Amino acid sequence: MQRKVKSIHFIGIGGIGMSGIAEVLLNLGYGVSGSDIQPSDTTKRLQQLGAKVAVGHAAENIGSADVVVTSTAVKTDNPEVVEAHHKNIPVIPRAEMLAE
């Protein structure tokens, strides 16, 4: 069976919970991108594993993601959340992603 979701974007990818999920998905072969307000050892590691990580939040960061995952710290007026809604890309909280 072919996966419908191939590319996942994480807003707040540098957080401990989000980065762990992102790393698992990278290891499973998913395309992973994300953004965070500042670079860190965690975001650098994810980049070394193949994730595309942007510093700062901007609408163009979501690219061609099939789904956008948010942490509890991300507000609904975040430009990436707004752009995802504009493009009809599902936006799901981290807890829901864990359930998948």
Asked if 17 and 70 touch (Cβ cutoff 8 Å), the reply is no
CA atoms within 13 A on the CB side of 10: 32
Return the residue matching tokens 């507000």. 75
Counting Cβ atoms within 10 Å, is residue 60 exposed (0-12), middle (13-18) or buried (19+)? Answer: exposed
CATH number of 7-99: 3.40.50.720
Does residue 17 register a pLDDT over 80?
A: yes
Count of beta carbons in the 10 Å neighbourhood of residue 88: 6
Does residue 33 register a pLDDT over 50?
A: yes
Q: What was the pLDDT predicted at 3?
A: 55
- Locate the domains of the chain by residue range: 7-99
Angle, helices 41-49/16-27, rounded to nearest 10 degrees: 10
Q: What is the pLDDT of residues 40-97, one digit of tens each?
A: 999 999 999 999 999 999 999 999 999 999 988 899 999 999 999 999 999 999 988 8
Cα separation, 69 vs 56, whole angstroms: 16
Q: What was the pLDDT predicted at 1?
A: 42
